[in-house]
Chain A
Amino acid sequence: MKGQLLSANHAAALAATLAARANRTGRGFCSGVYPITPSTECMEFLCAQQIEKGRVVRVESEHSAMGVCIGAAAAGARSFTATASNGLAYMAENCVAAAGLRLPVVMAVANRTMGPPWNIWADHGDALMLRDLGLIQIYCADNQELFDTVLSAFRLAEDQRVLMPAMVCMEGFILSHTVAQTEIPSQEQVDRFLPLTSVPQQLGSTPHSLGQIELPAQTETHRMQHHQAMLAAETVFEEVRGHFADIFGRELQGALVPYRTEDADTLIVSLGTMGLTAQRVVDRARERGEKVGSLRIRMLRPLPVAAIAREFAGKSRIAILDRDISLGFGGVLWGELARLAQAPVVQNYLAGIGGGDVRPEHLERVLADLKGRRQSGTPVNVEAI
């Protein structure tokens, strides 16, 4: 284990490189990549690596990038790609295909606002667009967590009980371009952590077709199987965390990151880096004697419903932050979580949409607003309170 100064983009690419090399005695590694701000540095780093029994294909579009990953995974290899924003939207059709074919492709997504109007800054709306399509989604808050999660995503996605694509998200620039000291394990440790990729439906020599036409009843069965596998991913992720701790001697962050929640009556709930800001605000509030806690959601699909409901139990005020908006509705995270809360006040705050800074003072305003509420209201923008 040694420390390296890396951007989160580079950390994701390095995790993918180590995972790629770990499959050199298996079917190898093949990846399709295409640049887009702010995930470009991830593919650039990958393109500069020497990977034994590996190939990185510089394709002509995100759609083809995932196409190459589909072909590679269908041939039994390990696969990875990175994208963001409109690139993810362009790739979406093939993300659905990878999910439907149950291929364990790992993706790093540097969350960026969807355009036009063109905006290169952070917004979770791009990844959330794919929420319902059968891909695992995990959101990260710092470089180490991102490195660890990308590495672990291979083990999770390739688990025979799971077998589906996994998307690991980092907010564009806020995280993707932040450079931090990151603990990097040795290749030998990664080799022990990641079993060789095995895709049971891989193309061989026997005639069989992947992705052929089926009738409604068959699709219903396949959807339910996929749903069950997705639900199983929550348990498998806990097992992966156990293996991670055994081999690397440190903890992989869980599906949820509760912070000072046990005795709290008020919760700030968030995705990604806003959770770290929330923790600072919680500390300040605690100094003032306010019983505030933070709950950071890492795993959005599968959504750890029971664990979230347990965290929500007994709380009286819950602020749900969204760096995204489902237009005509409100925050997506709020839409997902509000039903799990019994609290009298569950308020949605739209924060940092289109990449605006979310600073501690914003969250102080959120806490003040929350305190003044007698009941839940419609979603509000933090800039407006």
Chain B
Amino acid sequence: MRNEPLLGGMAQSAVDRETPLLRPGNTNCGGCGMSNLLQMMRRAVADRPVQLVIPACCAAISAGAFPQAGLGAPTVLTTFASAAAVATGAAAVARLNGEETRVICLAGDGGSYDIGFATMSAAAERNEDILYICYDNEIYGNTGGQRSSATPAGAVTTSTPGGKVEQKKDIMAIMAAHRIPYAASLSLAHADDTLRKLRHALDLRGFRFLHVLSPCPTGWKSEPALGMELVRLAVRSGLYPVLEVFDGRRHQINIEPEFSDEALEMYLSLQRRFQNTGLKASDLRPAIERHWLNLRVLSGRIVPARRETR
């Protein structure tokens, strides 16, 4: 079954890494965005030698129960807050020995936005030679769906039964402020965008950060088959900006949204986590507009002066 083209080469092609990163028989939920990400990474990684560093998160479960290995690359599973530190050690030893190994941190939003934040920030500040990928399902998925600082306002979680009040943390702005060589948000619904950024990030040296909006049917209370559609709606509506930041200075917007309220309503209505809080597209639109105004300025667009509507 080695590199046999599946689905006409869409699901598996000749350029893919020989061993899948996410092996058959893994225990990920159906429709897990991290599964899609790992399959895309298989293609992007190709023949580059990689090692994975995974803190406590859903991907640590993907690694399978001893002695089976659910992940097709050498992997070290770390404590929750230390992925970037452990990756620092592994990458440093690879460099000392002149090895080309790409050390990849695969961490959830809890391990990146919250408990592992200081560790990630410090590794970025030291510009360690790590590719840090945050697959963001906007909750603590592994423990059954509690709020994190990546959970958007209005989402019901098991620890915010009335809906989260606070805004989602702007992780891209924070990582860009570290002036790392490369920070990018990528859309799993746009395969070319995902592949290009993964490949670019794999080949760069220094600290690279990738932010991936990762659908979680279990936590979002959404249909597993609709995961990619949800990402597409988040991109179309402007809710999830897809951009790259080079050296923390040059901002490049990759996908121009339609800012469609219809897409935003659809995004909200397809997830039960938003349904009981009565959140509407019009509630989110002002924050989206403010955020995009800022992104336009950062990306060097001339922005017409305008008064903010109240």
Instruction: List the interface of chain A (C-beta within 8 A of B).
Output: 27-28, 30, 32, 53-55, 57-61, 63-77, 79, 93-94, 97, 101, 203-215, 218
Q: Which of B49, B51, B85 has the most CB of A within 10 A?
A: B85
Complex CA distance for A101 and B65, rounded to whole angstroms: 15
**A212 vs B60: C-alpha distance in the bound complex, in angstroms?**
7
Contact B85 A32 (CB under 8 A): yes
Given A28-B96, A94-B79, does the pair A73, B89 have CB atoms closer than 8 Å?
yes
Can you list 17 A-B pairs, Cβ within 8 angstroms, ordered by A? Answer: A28-B93, A28-B97, A32-B88, A57-B88, A59-B88, A63-B79, A63-B81, A63-B119, A67-B88, A71-B53, A75-B51, A203-B76, A207-B71, A209-B75, A212-B63, A212-B77, A215-B65
Specify the chain A residue showing the minimal Cβ separation from B73.
A207
B70 to chain A, nearest CB (A): 8
CB contact under 8 A between A55 and B82, given known A212-B77, A215-B65: no
Q: Which of B69, B86, B126 contacts A208 (CB 8 A)?
A: B69
B61 at the interface (CB under 8 A from A): yes
Per DSSP, chain B at the interface is mixed
Most A Cβ at <10 Å: residue of B72, B77, B82, B119: B82
Give B92-109 as 1s and 0s: 1 = Cβ < 8 Å from A's Cβ atoms.
111011000000000000
- Which one of B72, B76, B93, B119 contacts A77 once the chains associate, using CB atoms below 8 Å? B93
Chain B residue total in the interface (Cβ 8 A):
41
Partner of B118 from the list A61, A73, A101, A203 (CB cut-off 8 Å) is A61
Chain B residue nearest to A54 (CB atoms) is: B96
Q: Is the CB of A57 within 8 A of B93?
A: no
Residues on B with C-beta less than 8 A from A203 are 51, 74-76, 90
B19 sits at the interface (CB 8 A): yes
Closest to B103 in A: A71
A67–B118 alpha-carbon span in the complex (Å): 13
* Seed contacts A27-B93, A212-B63; 18 additional CB < 8 Å A-B pairs: A28-B97, A55-B96, A57-B126, A61-B118, A65-B85, A67-B88, A70-B86, A71-B76, A71-B88, A71-B89, A73-B89, A74-B76, A76-B93, A77-B89, A205-B49, A212-B64, A214-B65, A214-B66
**How far is A118 from B64 in the complex, measured between Cα atoms in Å?**
44
Q: Is B268 an interface residue (CB 8 A)?
A: no
Instruction: Report how far A206 CA is from B18 CA in the complex, Å.
Output: 12
Contact residues in B for A57 (Cβ distance below 8 Å)? 88-89, 92, 126
Chain B residues in the interface with A (C-beta under 8 A): 19, 49, 51, 53, 60-61, 63-66, 69-79, 81-82, 84-94, 96-97, 118-119, 121-122, 126
Inter-chain contacts of A207 with B (CB < 8 A): 19, 69, 71-75
Which applies to chain A's interface (DSSP): helix, strand, loop or mixed? mixed
Chain B residues, CB < 8 A from A71: 53, 76, 85-93
Q: A211–B78 contact, CB under 8 A?
A: yes
Contact between B76 and A210 (Cβ–Cβ < 8 Å)?
yes
B residues near A204, Cβ cutoff 8 Å: 74
Bound-state Cα–Cα, A212 to B75, Å: 9
Min Cβ gap B59→A in Å is 11
Q: Given the complex, which residues of A lie within 8 Å of B91, measured CB to CB?
A: 71
Q: Would you call A64 and B77 a contact (CB within 8 A)?
A: no
Contacts of B119 in A (CB 8 A): 60-61, 63-64, 67
> Which of B76, B94, B126 interacts with A70 by CB under 8 Å?
B76
Cα–Cα distance between A163 and B84 once the two chains are bound (Å): 24
| Contact of B78 (CB < 8 Å), options: A58, A97, A214 | A97
Chain B residues lying within 8 Å of A27, measured Cβ to Cβ, are: 93, 96-97
A72 touches B90 (CB 8 A): yes
Question: Are B85 and A67 in touch, CB under 8 angstroms?
Answer: yes
A104 to chain B, nearest CB (A): 14
Please determine whether B75 and A55 come into contact, CB atoms closer than 8 angstroms. no
Inter-chain CA distance A369–B263, complex, in Å, is 83
A75 touches B118 (CB 8 A): no
User: Taking A28-B96, A203-B51, A209-B63 as contacts, is the C-beta distance between A68 and B85 under 8 angstroms?
Assistant: yes
Contacts of B53 in A (CB 8 A): 71
Which residues of A have CB within 8 Å of B64? 209, 212-213
Q: Which residues of B contact A74 (CB under 8 A)?
A: 76, 86, 89-90
Among the interface residues A64, A76, A206, which one has the most CB atoms of the partner chain B within 10 A?
A64
- Do the beta carbons of A211 and B88 come within 8 Å of each other? no
Nearest to A205 among chain B residues (CB) is B49
Which residue from A68, A72, A79, A212 sits with its C-beta under 8 Å from B65?
Answer: A212
> Contact at B66–A30, with CB atoms within 8 Å?
no
Docked CA distance A238–B22 (Å)? 46
A residues less than 8 Å from B121 (CB atoms): 60
Residue of B with least CB distance to A55: B92
Contact call A211/B76, Cβ cutoff below 8 A: yes
